[in-house]
Each structure stands twice: as structure tokens, then as C-alpha cells.
Chain A
Amino acid sequence: MMSPQVEIQLIAAVTAAACSLVGTFLVLRRMAMMSDAISHSILLGIVVAFLAVGDLASPWLVLGAAVTGVLTVALVETLHRTRLVKEDAAIGLVFPALFSLGVILLARHAGAVHLDTDVVLLGELAFAPFDRFAPGGTDLGPRSLWMAGGVLLLDAAALALFFKELKLATFDAGLAATLGFAPALIHYGLMSLVSVTAVASFDAVGLVLVVALMVGPPAAAHLLTDRLPRLLGLAVLMGAASAVGGYWLARWLDVSIAGAMAATVGFVFLLALLLAPQRGLVAAARRRATQRLEFALAMLAIHVAQHECGPDAGDECRADRVHLHLHWEPDFSEAVLRAAEQRRLLRREDGLVRLDEAGRDLARGALTR
């Protein structure tokens, strides 16, 4: 018997893992906004299915909602294929319309549906442990956990089975089509997975978080690696970590769990953006600074090599005037000189710069390269 606290974190982590798994392919296929579209429009499916079945726990609800998700994708593509609107506009037309229908239906049947717009946006993770899955009277844990776990298994199984096909269709759709892999079938298969995952997750964590979990961890993981299996693993890990971290943030501040998880996803992405070993902004800035210094050292060496035996060496090679000839800021010039001295490229003697052997090699190498 787990405590509700642990159960909530488990539900969140499993949900996050499932979302990140399918989300990775959305991000790679540049269809991230489809997660936004699908997660919004499944509301209509849920409401319609509920009005038809009258039971929020019914599996028909999940099916109905998943069908709306796939319908959204089909509508977007149909609209795009008329060539009357661009694809992003098609997305922006379809899902607000379906979502609006859902919200209006929900508002008009507010008495009948035990769902309100807050739940739709925020989810009700805090209450998830109260809804137990107890077939035949034996308590087997919260229903959401079973749901999320089932979807995670489904996603993992489908991705494992069709990994090769998905990979090829994602990175080279043309080749996939040529080899007879039916990209359309793969596309709709993936979209069905996304829909089912969104439905299962939205119940627990709300639709905004679905988008955050589908897009954030994969985008962050993509900054860290180029290999698909590692990307999937990292995305799942980061998703689950964000979910658990978000839970504790929410507990600490006593605020919406879904909101805090989305914020944590953002934080994790920001960390990856800044600190990724090769693609991170910090690494890039340091690389640029290094390159700038290396280039400046070579420039300085070449300049001094050209002038040190010439008639104007007294002016051109004066340590405090070099920056004028190279069009540098004085501070930068001083820094470069100091770095060059450290590397024993040159010496300063009587205010004049004299190249050492290493410096002369550098100049020669740079010129003949």
C-alpha cells in the first residue's frame, strides 16, 4: 500500500514518460504543435462520448477522445491539402474550433458532466489517488496509475515494434516511401498513439501539461544528443524527473501541480539550452571566445613577424601601439598580449614586442595553411 504522495508522483512520472516517448517523434518530425492541437480537441471527444455513454470511467470515453485526436490530424491535413491555407494556419483553425465546441457543450451540460474547464486545463492530479481501481473489491491502486501505465506500455511496445519504420519515416520520409513503408500509415499510427497518450494523461495532469511534457523533455534532450535511442531515453528521464520535481515544487509553494510541472519542464529545458556540453549557449559562447583569442593571437604573430625586422618596427611593434595597427580595443590588445606571453609566443622588451620561436611558427603556419 503506497501513500497518496508516492502514488501521485508515480502517476506523474509514468505519464511524463509516456508523453515524452511519443513527443520525441513529434519534435523530430516538426509537428510539436500537433500535441497542442490534439490535446485541446480531445476535450470535444470526451464531452461527446460522455454525453453518449454517461460514464466518465468508460473506456468508450478514451476511445471517443482518441478518435477526435486523429480526426483533428485528418482535418488539418485535409485543409492543408486544399492548398487554400498553410499548414500552421490549418492547425490554428481546426483545434480552436473543436475545442470551442467542446467548451460550449461542456458549459451547456455543466450539470450532467462532472468535468469543468478548470479540470480540463489543470488536471486533478491531487485527487487521482482517490479514484481507485478495484476490480472485485480488491484495491489495486489508483485508476490513473493503471491508465498511465497501460498507455506507457502501449507506447513503448508500439515504438519498439515499429522503431525502424518510425526512424526512417522521421528522418527520410522520401526514402521510407520509396522502400514501401507507407509513411501515411506510420503518420496516422503515431498520431493515434499521441491521441491515446494525450487522453490518458489529460485526465490526470490537464491539457497544458500534456503539451509541456510532449514537447519540453524531447526538445531539451535533443540539445544533448544526436542518437535516437539515447534521445528517447534522455527525454523519458527528463520528463519523469520534471514531473517529480514539479510535484515537490507544487507542494512546497502549495500551488497547482500541473502548473509547477510545466514550469519545471521549462526550467529543465533552460538548463539544457544553457549548459548542453556542445550545443549549449555557454559552451557556444566559450567556443566563440576561444576562437576569437586564437584568431587574435595568429593576427598578432603575423603582424609582428611582418614588421619586427622592418624600418618601422619601432612603431608597428610597440606593445602599447599594436592595437592601433590591428584595429583592436586597447584592453583586448593587452589581454591578447598577456595570453601570448603565457604561451611563450612572444616577449615584451623595452616596450617592443619580440616574437619567440613558437610565435614565429604560429605566424608561418597561419600564413601557409
Chain B
Amino acid sequence: MTESRPLHSVVLVKQVPDTHNVTGDVMTKDGTMNRNALPAIFNPEDLNALEMALQIKERTGGTVTVITMGPPKAAAILRESLFRGADKVVLLTDRKFAGADTLATSYALTCAIRKIGDYDLVLAGRQAIDGDTAQVGPQTAEKLGIPQITYAEQIVELTSTHVTVQRALDSGSEIVRCKMPVLMTVVGSANTPRPANVRRQMERKLAATPLEYAAIRKDWPEFETDEALDAYLAARDLRIPVWSAEAIGATEGSIGLAGSPTQVHKVNFVVLESAESKTITPDQEGIAAMVAELVREYIVG
């Protein structure tokens, strides 16, 4: 079913606060959120995108390159990508990227993908759980000038020129065939992401960006200088490259806050209106009284 040449995939991933598991510690007394109390995780659907890319590589050969844009600590999900099977990873980080909305983010990612150059497929999770916008994928495809397949669930066929994909829509499903290169956004039902490979994890646990060298040298005092550590990591292909705005040739006016057409006008803390309310005891009498009242008010018939 698959007659293809080696395919090169670029996977876009994001480190996100784990908003699905908000616990008591996260909320402060005045109703604001303590962001630091939220663990940072690999955006779930980005793991599905990585898994899809790894499965494609297993079928056709080729490479899987993972890019993330974020603060220096986002290197953690790049290491996780290496443990799972990514060939190359890149951290896009620069203070100038800060405050980017989806348009500015897609521009920076586009510059990075162009720098990588040779690709057949770009994959990303359908959406990130911290914003749920699902916009960065299609916006990146538009800037790359390539078609997009959103809600990708299954690769039906791969040839040397075309990919056939099943899309999962709320309203049903669809099978589309598209010429490569193409960008796909992948849904959570696509696959079960593989765990880290133990051997790869052993081999690559030291993989790091130069931004992390100071912290690493605290644990490994035998590396007396950053240069010594750098030489050690570079020799073992464990140095994670860091690309700045300048390195990807991004125009200043198109990145970060300046490149973001959307602005936050105001933020309101949610004030819950206290409805006129009754506390019902969870016993036969309490429930019966409540039901009787609802019947009287024609709420239930």
C-alpha cells in the first residue's frame, strides 16, 4: 500500500501548562492563577503528531525534525522527542519572540522551517491546550505556501508525491488526497504515542542547549568551562541547537508583540454571580422537596 521514497517530516511542538489538571494550589485566594504551580507538559496532540511522523519514517525511511518555540526550559520536550525517536531537534528562543500571538508565532515557525529547507510533511497537533485556538497550523501552512490537512487521523496511503489522509470531523469523516509538501494537524484519536525508548533515553539524557550549560555544570563539575561541556556534547551529537530571531532571518516587525495584530484590551477575573440558591441535603426528604418545587415551577413535568 505504500510505494514511497524516504520522506522528511518537520514536527511543530509546544510546551504548555497542564491546564487539564488544575489543582487547588494553582488558584490563589483572590481568584487569580499561579502559573508556576502548573506543571509544564508536552502538548498532548503534539505527541500524536510526533508519533505520526515517527510511523511515517518507519514506513518510508527519511528523517524527523522537531521544532519548538518557547522559553529555554522548553528544551525539556525536545529531549522527550529525542527519547521517542526524533533525529534532530531545534529550540527557537529569543526575547524578541515574547508576546507573540498566533500570527507572529506562525511567521517565526515558517522562517525556521524554511531554514531547515528540505521537507515533505509538516505535522503539528490540532491545537494546544493552553489556548485551544487551532490556528498556528493553518497559518503556518499559508505562509509556507503549501496546502493544509487539518484534523488528520490516519495516513491511508503514501506515494512518492501524494499523501492520502482520513480526517476526523465532529460531523463525520473525510478522505482526502493531496500533493506534498503539505502541513497536517493531527487529532488525539490518531494514535497512541509511544513512550520514551529506554536505550535512546540513556544515550541522549545529556542532550542540552547551550542555555542549560551553567545548570548542567553544577551537577557535573568535571566540566570546568562551558567550552569543555560544549565540546563533549558536540562530539556526541547531543548539543541542541538554539535559533534566535536573527538566525532564522525573521523581520523584527513580524515577530513578538510587534508582529501580533491582536492585543489584549483588558482581562477580567471571573466574578461568579451568586444566584439565589438553596442547599439541598442529599437525602430522600431533601431531594423530594427539591423535585416538588421544580414541578411547581413547571421546570420538570
- Is this pair of chains taken from one and the same complex? no
Q: Interface on A for B, CB 8 Å cutoff?
A: none
Q: Interface on B for A, CB 8 Å cutoff?
A: none
